Amino acid sequence: MMERLKILLLVCLSGLMVACVKHEVAKPSVCYFGSSVCRGEGADSLRGYAYQVGEQLPEGWSYTNLSVNSNNTYDLLARFDDILTTDAKYVVIGLSLGNEHLHEAGEAAVLSYTENMQTLIRMLRNLGKVPIVTNNYTRADFNEVDYRDIQRVNLGMQQWDVPTINLCGVIDDGAGHWAEGYWNGTDIYHPNMAGHTEMMTAFPPSLFEALEQKKPMPERPSQPSAPAPDMREKVVKVSFEPEGLLHSYTLSYMLGDTTYTVVHSHARQLTWHYKNAQCVSQAADSVVRKSFAVEGRQLHDLFFYRSALNPLEVKALSDGGMLRSSLDIYAPIFFGNKVKDDNLAQSLTQIKSVVY
C-alpha cells in the first residue's frame, strides 16, 4: 500500500513539474536584420553595436544576428524568409543608403530605400513582429550632396510610425564622414570598435522593455503644453539621470515661447547652444555627463535624445516637429495647472520635477 502511495505521489509531482515548465513564459528575443555594419564589421570579433546592444538586453532575453555584408533593401526583401528561422519578437533593421548606392544613384537610391523600407516594416508587422529601424549613417567617401540626402531622409525617418535610432548623430564628423578616430583610416565603409560603441550608445537602454510594456509612440500635443495662468510665475526644476553609457546627446526645452537646445557630440568633443534654432555658441567639450537638471519659469516640452541632432533637425524640433529617433525622454511637464513627471518617450527613464 505504501509503495502505491509513493508511486502516486511521484506521478503527481512529475505532473506538476511538467505543468510548471509548460506554463513558464518564454523571454522575448531580438533579431538584427541588416548589412555589414549591423553584422559587426570593423569591430573586434564582430562585436559591433548590435552585439553590444544585445549584451545589455534585460535578463533572460536573447538575440540573434541575421545580417549579411553588402545587403540593401532589395536583398532583405529577397531573403525575407530568413526571418521565419527565428521566433524573435523584435526585429532591428540595420541598413544604410550607402549600400543602396546613394553615392552613385542619388535620388533613385533615396526612393528605393524609403519605399522598400516601408514595405519591410509592413511585412514584419504582418508576421506579428515589432520593427525598429536604424537611421542612415556616414561613410568616408560621401560628398556634400550625399550628406544632404542622408540628412533629409533621416529627418523624415524621425517622424515615421516606428521606433528609430539616430546612428548618424553619434558618429558624424559634421560633413557626412566617420568622425576622426572612429574608423581605421582605410576601410571607408565601416566604423572601428570605438565607432561601434558610439552607435550602441544611441539606443535607449530600456527601449525594448518599454516596447514590451506596449508603451505607445510619443506624440506632441496639437496645442502647446504651456502652463495655465496661475502656474506661469512658478519655477519648475526637472532632473534626470540617463541609464547606461551616455556619450552624445541633445537636450531641448521651452521656457515660455522660447526653445533652448543643447547639442553635444562626444565623437567631435563639441557642444552647441541654440536659441530658437539659432546657434549662439560653440565650445570644446569632453565631459561625459551622467545627470541633467533644467529649471525656470514656464518650463515645458522637454526632449532628451541619446544622439547629437544636426542643425536641420534642431530647426525642425524648434518649429514644433515631433522627432523620435533615439528619444529617451519627452516630458510635456505641464498638464493644465498641474506639473507631472510623465516621460512619454518609449523608454523607462524617469524624471523628477519640483515646483518652487
Rg (CA), the chain: 23
Which regions in the chain score pLDDT beneath 50? Answer: 1, 5-14, 16-23
Neighbours of 92 (CB within 10 A): 27
Distance CA 237, CA 353 (A): 5
Contacts of 218 (CB under 8 A, 6+ apart): 322, 324, 327, 330, 344, 345, 346
Distance CA 306, CA 288 (A): 12
Distance CA 169, CA 181 (A): 15
Question: What's the pLDDT at 135?
Answer: 98
Q: What is the pLDDT of residues 243-284, one digit of tens each?
A: 999 999 999 999 989 999 999 999 999 999 999 999 999 999
Question: What's the pLDDT at 225?
Answer: 63
Q: Which domains does the chain have, with CATH numbers?
A: 29-203 (3.40.50.1110), 229-355 (2.60.120.200)
Give the end-to-end CA distance of the chain in Å, rounded to a whole number.
77
Backbone φ/ψ region at 60: left (φ over 0), alpha (ψ -120 to 50), beta: left
CA nearest to 329, candidates 307, 305, 353, 310: 305
Contacts of 337 (CB under 8 A, 6+ apart): 227, 228, 230, 231
Contacts of 108 (CB under 8 A, 6+ apart): none
Distance CA 143, CA 64 (A): 34
- Write b or e for each residue in 98-107: b if 16 or more Cβ atoms lie within 10 A of its Cβ, otherwise e: bbbebbeeee
